[in-house]
């Protein structure tokens, strides 16, 4: 190959590499700006309502807490919104949805029914929207701009994990307080399907043992829970992608307080 042809080949390769780089940058920019929609208008000053760290189980005996979420307006916007998840000191402060059309509908669809790479936080039809299943699995994207479930990864830090014991879910008439049990990396198995939806006591009890001592990497486990976990408990599992994209990062919480709201 003569010098002129060699130069043309090199230039062509360089152009191809530049085009690939520009394409990757374009995808990153698109994903960054096409993130979660602003839903803050549907929630009042929630910080004062959701910082309760009380953890007595069962129905709250004190006066009913105020519900800071405007579910009436939310459900006019989208009747498939059934709850609202709030985790203190993170950006996780979003509505929860479940599609009647297909399980992954909200993977890339916002609460307004529009395409969004960030999608929404959602559950599948294998879970009831009253959050009364033994295990409720909630999905959300690990967005590079920090939205959706990206901040679940904050629980990798042992100090942050220790200081943030609870997260909260509101429904139209309830405030549910969950104590964080553990946070860890997991594989891509579908938790509900591989455990037969936890219909058997023995399977559920094995799962409770596992989440208290996960055989995984980047594990944080709460040293002392408010009560010993049993088959009567209800677990919420928050699930997002690992930064590598190969596997999941899970945050496990057990219901410790169920209060009616006003």
How does pLDDT run across 126-181, given as a tens digit for each residue?
999 999 999 999 999 999 889 999 999 999 999 999 999 999 999 999 999 999 99
Query: What is the reported pLDDT for 60?
Result: 42
- The CA-CA-CA angle for residues 127, 132, 138, to 5°, reads 45
pLDDT at 53 over 70: no
DSSP at 38: -
Q: Tell me what percent of the residues of the chain surpass a pLDDT of 70.
A: 84
> For 200-254, what is each residue's pLDDT tens digit?
999 999 999 999 999 888 899 999 999 999 999 999 999 999 987 789 999 999 9
SS in 3 state form for the chain?
A: CCHHHHHHHHHHHHHHHHHHHHHHHHHHHHHHHCCCCCCHHHECCHHHCCCCCCCCCCECCCCCCCCCECHHHHHHHCCCEEEEEECCCCCCEEEEECCCCCCCHHHCECCCCCECCCCCEECCCCCCCCCCCCEEEEECCECCCCCECHHHHHHHCHHHHHHCCEEEEEECCEEEEEEEEEEEEECCCCHHHHCHHHCCHHHHHHHHHHHHCCCCCCCEECCCCCCCCCCCCCEEEEEEECCCCCCEEEEEEEEEEEEECC
Stated pTM of the model = 0.81
């Amino acid at each position: 190959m003569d010098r002129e042809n060699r130069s043309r080949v090199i230039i062509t390769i360089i152009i191809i590499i530049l085009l690939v780089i520009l394409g990757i940058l374009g995808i990153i920019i698109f994903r960054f700006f096409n993130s979660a929609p602003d839903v803050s208008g549907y929630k009042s000053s929630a910080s004062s309502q959701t910082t309760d760290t009380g953890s007595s189980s069962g129905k709250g005996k004190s006066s009913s807490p105020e519900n800071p979420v405007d579910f009436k307006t939310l459900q006019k916007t989208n009747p498939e919104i059934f709850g609202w998840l709030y985790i203190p000191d993170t950006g996780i402060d979003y509505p929860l949805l479940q599609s009647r059309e297909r399980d992954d509908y909200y993977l890339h669809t916002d609460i307004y029914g529009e395409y969004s790479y960030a999608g929404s936080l959602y559950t599948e039809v294998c879970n009831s929207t009253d959050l009364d299943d033994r295990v409720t699995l909630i999905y959300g994207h690990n967005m590079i701009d920090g939205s959706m479930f990206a901040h679940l990864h904050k629980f990798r830090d042992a100090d942050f994990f220790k200081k943030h014991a609870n997260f909260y879910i509101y429904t139209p008439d309830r405030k549910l307080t969950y104590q964080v049990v553990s946070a860890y990396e997991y594989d891509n198995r579908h938790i509900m399907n591989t455990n037969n939806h936890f219909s058997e006591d023995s399977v559920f009890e094995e799962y409770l043992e596992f989440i208290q001592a996960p055989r995984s990497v980047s594990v944080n486990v709460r040293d002392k829970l408010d009560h010993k976990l049993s088959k009567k408990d209800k677990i919420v599992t928050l699930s997002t992608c690992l930064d590598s994209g190969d596997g999941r990062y899970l945050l496990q919480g057990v219901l410790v307080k169920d209060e009616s709201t006003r």
